[in-house]
Amino acid sequence: MRRLNRFMLPSDARGSYNPLYRLYETVPVRRVAWSVCVNLAARVIPHMGFKNWVYRRLLRMRIGRGTAIALYAMMDTIHPEWITIGDNCIVGYHTTILTHEYLIDEYRFGPVVIEDEVMIGANVTILAGVTIGRRAVIGAGSVVTRDIPAGAFAAGSPARVIRSGQEDCSRQP
């Protein structure tokens, strides 16, 4: 179950402008501008240690030891400090991690927690309020819309658990 804070537009505001158009009524423009600039720079830093330092110090994300975030990964620009990535994780090329959702009549915010030793394939999108359990594997191109249990292999759009953590994944068929 995703942990989201939901905010509905007042009934008198519906039909005029959607919540994304009104973004700067909820988040300061300077904060978003700063986050966008840092994110754009961090996306192309090839050195994992320096990239993690940038995310930790400049965007206040929590990133564990030995975590590798590949080139062009995009972290949320509104609340990057709500992203937690555990120790020894791999975040694949061109992955997007979001802590917000803007819809027509509402907007939602929620933290993203990626526990230790998780592998996330390339081009994955992780939506707000999701927790990915320890040692889970997310297949390339997946859209993670709900929590993934520890040790599971999940893939697809939306991501579904294909194999749970109880099975021995080391054996070849």
State the Cα–Cα distance between residues 168 and 128, nearest whole angstrom. Answer: 30
Q: What are phi and psi of 55, to 5 degrees?
A: -65, -45
Predicted confidence at residue 43, as pLDDT, reads: 95
Q: How many CB atoms lie within 10 A of CB 46?
A: 8
pTM of the model: 0.90
Taking CA atoms, 58 is separated from 27, 41, 54, 86, in Å, by 17, 11, 5, 18
- Say if residues 35 and 10 touch (Cβ distance below 8 Å): no
**Catalytic machinery residues:** 100
- Say if residues 110 and 4 touch (Cβ distance below 8 Å): yes
Tens-place pLDDT, residues 97-130:
999 999 888 899 999 999 999 999 999 999 999 9
Q: With a cut of 50, which residues of the chain have pLDDT below it?
A: 168, 170-173
Domains of the chain: which residue ranges?
Answer: 18-163
CATH of region 18-163 = 2.160.10.10
Predicted confidence at residue 9, as pLDDT, reads: 75
